[in-house]
């Protein structure tokens, strides 16, 4: 139960940060990507805050013997830059640039009842199911 409460609080904090910074508004994200037009630098400050937090906290947290509410840290086992990784990153970037949403802000927007976010989340779930189905068909 403690893990569920911690996850709920972390998600609420993340969602509140996204809403406070207005990163749930796709127009702000798209304005950041529009470097030759109506450029809006706000997303750069959000990105800087995330990177700074990671730089400060990541190593000290990993020096702990384990996480507070789990048996072990779950870190990627592979450091390979392969075709699926690059393809996924390209699709993510194109989708983000076209829609102005990435998963976190889209979920916050959908929870708030924003129609474009609800459509995005539905498409995201469909894409996840499609990826899962195709991944099961590919040899490991």
Task: Name the E strands within the chain.
Answer: none
* Interval 100-132: pLDDT, tens: 998 988 998 898 899 999 999 999 999 889 988
The per-residue pLDDT for 54 is: 93
| Residues 85, 35: Cα–Cα separation, whole Å | 26
The position carrying tokens 């830059």 is 81
- Domain limits of the chain? 2-137
Q: With 70 as the cut, is the pLDDT of residue 139 above it?
A: no
Residue 29 three-state SS: helix
The per-residue pLDDT for 48 is: 93
pTM recorded for the entire structure = 0.73
138 pLDDT band (50/70/90 cuts)? low
* Interval 52-83: pLDDT, tens: 999 999 999 999 998 988 888 988 888 899 99
């Amino acid at each position: 139960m403690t893990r569920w409460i911690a996850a709920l609080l972390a998600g609420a904090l993340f969602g509140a940060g996204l809403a406070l910074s207005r990163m749930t508004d796709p127009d702000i994200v798209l304005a950041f990507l529009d470097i030759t037009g109506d450029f809006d630098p706000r997303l750069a400050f959000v990105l800087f805050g995330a990177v700074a937090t990671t730089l400060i906290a990541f190593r000290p947290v990993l020096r702990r013997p384990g996480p507070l509410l789990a048996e072990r840290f779950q870190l990627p086992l592979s450091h390979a830059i392969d075709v699926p990784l690059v393809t996924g990153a390209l699709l993510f970037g194109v989708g983000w640039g076209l829609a102005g949403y990435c998963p976190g802000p889209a979920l916050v927007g959908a929870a708030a009842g924003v129609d474009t976010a609800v459509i995005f989340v539905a498409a995201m779930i469909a894409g996840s199911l499609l990826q899962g189905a195709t991944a099961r068909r590919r040899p490991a």
